[in-house]
Amino acid sequence: MNSADLAQHIAEGHSLSKADAKTLVDAVFTAVAEAAAKGEEVSISGFGKFKVKESAAREGRNPSTGATIQIAASRKLGFTPAKAVKDKLNG
């Protein structure tokens, strides 16, 4: 499922136009991305948490040459599903 599919699903379930639903979906994803960029945790009750994880700089290897390379520190967005979501996945 992509964002267009999600928008269509919301439009059909809530008597909205597909364009209005797409605007809502985009607004939610933008809000999550902006909060994550600030380092904030986004918790959606019954769904899960989006949390920024720090990855330290480290050494790695170029697989084609075997040469040692430096991998820069980075930030990643992780997701931890809520118990209700875990139960649906495994139930």
Tell me the per-residue pLDDT of 39-71, one tens digit each, with 9 for 90 and over: 999 999 999 999 999 999 999 999 999 999 999
- Domain borders along the chain are 1-40, 46-91
- Using CA atoms, how far residue 82 sits from 5, 45, 89, in Å, is 23, 8, 11
Both structure tokens of 9: 């699903």
Task: For residue 11, give the amino acid letter.
Answer: A
Tokens 């059909």 belong to 12
> Rounded to the nearest 10 degrees, how much is the dihedral formed by the CA atoms of 80, 86, 90, 91?
-170
3-state DSSP call for residue 25? Answer: helix
Nearest Cα to Cα of residue 21 among 5, 2, 8: 8
What is the pLDDT at residue 33? 95
The predicted model scores a pTM of 0.77
The answer to whether domain 46-91 has CATH 4.10.520.10 is: yes
User: What is the separation, in whole angstroms, between the first and last Cα of the chain?
Assistant: 21
What is the pLDDT at residue 31? 96
- pLDDT tier for residue 91 given thresholds of 50, 70 and 90: confident
Helix (H) or strand (E) holding 70: strand 68-71
